[in-house]
A and B are shown apart, each in its own frame.
Chain A
């Protein structure tokens, strides 16, 4: 099937305003007759739930954490992009759009990205009005810094905790609606299934993680704001609980999953130290504003960094990409780090690391200034490694961080299933094959504050409120299926823990479907994953019972989905016979090792449809048309 993104016609700059004129509205008195489910309370979920509640809809908001404020958006460090052009350095909506399209290696939708750039400025206005304490200059105006993939300073920040401050802003808006009674909040509640009635998304099945009770909720529309799937790699920068379950179970119910192979490996994370490792910690990309990345020019050099003289250091990013230098985009920086380590130049005990050195910046602007900019990051680094980065360079290595792929949505953020809307990292729409730094926060809030509130009305206005209730057979079946699955997980009583399976899956994914992929490695992964999955269902041990707080059971359900999803990711990676952005196939590279796209054959969104157990997924394509930016080889040299 050829999919249609339903982008409005007309000139790029007028598409969104034209579309807003054309969309249907729900009148204020009718809004309260509609019920909307929002799953996830990160930037996208909180901002959407708050905005919808404020408009007068009845909102049911769900999160698996004990408070909405703990969603993993909280951990975003560096900043949020907007085309304000406050520094007067030549930024514009078009330039932000252009950088994002190019950063995404020409695999995202022009209309979506332009809209994102367009509403970016409103986000900053909104957040400042909420009391988000962005960094300011001495005149009292907002300060900016630079991020990868851009030659302007357009990133707004709040120390190294921008995600935290933006999420707390959205959480405060959400709290206000909870008090007003427009939003009902369900914490420690996890979505287990999407309920489809007559082809439309009309509810969810959830598990109360405290009592273990499985319940269903009916609504007029469902919004999934459930984040990304980087934990398929086991070790990632995601929170421990982040999972693909909501999105994957929606996929099993008919929602298309788009571009799962577009995964972002973040270049600056603290290297792993041993098998006990449970997660990897990211150090903000903003550090590359002042830090210089290097390795020794001598293979296997074991000298401490301060003993390596200047002329024996290889500042490889500055060497390879003189115009962007240390601020080359994430996919490129990550691959460059992998390359030097593969060649034996890596630093640290494991040899999987590169230096990020602040010595020059400290000389130039002083330690105090560096402390003011990145103090909390240096502290975090010290806590984890026991090393003082003011005195010696940080050691960094790439780690899985973000999922550009996600559920397929049209221009209205609606999936192929009517009534199902997908926001933030959970959808696929704006970042193409690689996301630029400081764009995730922008997208999450754009979707929740300024896009969904308009587009969902267009759907609701065409439906009758309260059409279904939880007494329908679809709800009863969904609940029974979820209960059966839970019981099955508990009954296996095998010999291996859930974590062991997750770790094994992660090592398959990282080894064969990670930063560099090939037909050979992907085929291998596709052989290994089904075997591991089979073993899981025979040999996993899940302790405890279903009628209580049971963290092993929670993990088991999530890992069961990762064991299926990992295969879909590998299938997508194998089908895409080109390299683009975060998807690097070793067979498709230029003479100097850069990603080689194949626009003739692969300039499309790959949206996969589940065909049920035992049958492979079916590929649907949404062709990508570039009318305003010429398809070009991405160069940061």
Chain B
């Protein structure tokens, strides 16, 4: 199939960006979206132009590195699918596709479709862990964890940290990302001791990084490639209130 692409090109963080038009020809429906971009890039290099820069690594939907909005939707049209796992069979011959980077105040563009998501790492550094030392821990089966709790913790822990939730949110909020970590650890006995400190530190960090507040739009859940549920945001709020009362 043949496609028309409008791709965001931006030389660097301080330059002005704009949408450029490209043709993608002879695209096989079995290609992934990024393989389609590979084909376009090979053509650009051959003709002496600079290829489109975009983040990607594992190309199997787990590393969270790929970050493109397709026709305005982070990770594109298919539910629960990262852009690297989106295949061209979901498009039609002659389609026009708009490809843009994540748009959020806290994610400055580095080049073309590549953004800086280190703010998410700093939220994690503020308290997204159990402060356990290497060694000196009890046998793994010392504490039984109800299966339902372990499963719920896993549902939250599946977050791949791609930032689509932020890009989709009208407020550019990182609430779902932060909530996923808070809820994952709050659901497990190992996370209890620090639960109050954790939720306060992480929400503080989130606000300091320039992310907006949650307005219950639920766009985050709609685009999350792992289907992380907005109920975890409620869990974060509950944890937060609990922590405030304790104070």
List residues of chain A with CB under 8 Å of any chain B CB: 47, 50-51, 54, 65-72, 74-75, 84, 86, 122, 124-131, 133-142, 158-159, 161, 164-165, 168, 171-173, 175-176, 178-179, 185, 187, 210, 239-241, 273-274, 276-279, 281-282, 379-380, 383-384, 386, 449-450, 453, 495, 497, 499-500, 541, 543-544, 548-549, 551-552
Contact = CB atoms under 8 A, between A and B. Distances in A.
B45 A543 contact: yes
Contacts of B160: 74, 164
Contacts of A179: 125-126
B95 interface: no
Given A75-B62, A173-B134, A541-B45, A278 B38 contact: yes
Contacts, number: 218
Contacts of A69: 64, 121, 161
Contact of B140 (A124, A274, A497, A549): A124
B135 A126 contact: yes
Contacts of A129: 130, 132, 137-138, 190
Given A125-B139, A278-B38, A380 B60 contact: yes
A276 B134 CA distance: 44
Contacts of B208: none
A373 to B, nearest CB: 13
A185 B125 CA distance: 11
B128 interface: yes
B110 A54 contact: no
Contacts of A450: 134-135
B129 A75 contact: no
Given A128-B190, A129-B132, A449-B134, A277 B46 contact: no
Given A66-B116, A161-B158, A165-B157, A133 B150 contact: yes
A66 B118 contact: yes
Nearest to B137: A129
Given A158-B154, A497-B42, A175 B129 contact: yes
A339 B136 CA distance: 49
| Shortest 4 CB-CB contacts between residues of A and residues of B | A140-B144, A172-B129, A129-B137, A133-B154
Interface string B62-89: 1111000000000000101100011101
A152 B183 CA distance: 34
B48 to A, nearest CB: 7
Nearest to B65: A70
A384 B87 contact: yes
A135 B146 CA distance: 11
Contacts of B118: 66-67, 187
Contacts of A499: 38, 42
B30 interface: yes
Interface string B168-204: 0000000000000000110010110000000000000
Contacts of A384: 32, 85, 87
Contacts of A86: 141
B80 A66 contact: no
A130 B46 contact: no
A140 B48 CA distance: 60
24 contacts: A66-B65, A66-B117, A70-B64, A72-B58, A74-B64, A122-B135, A125-B139, A126-B137, A128-B137, A128-B140, A131-B130, A164-B62, A168-B157, A172-B124, A172-B130, A173-B129, A179-B125, A187-B121, A240-B56, A278-B59, A384-B85, A497-B42, A497-B45, A543-B48
Contacts of B247: none
Nearest to A77: B62
Contacts of A277: 35
A500 B38 CA distance: 11
B53 A551 contact: yes
A544 B112 CA distance: 14
Given A140-B144, A240-B59, A383 B154 contact: no
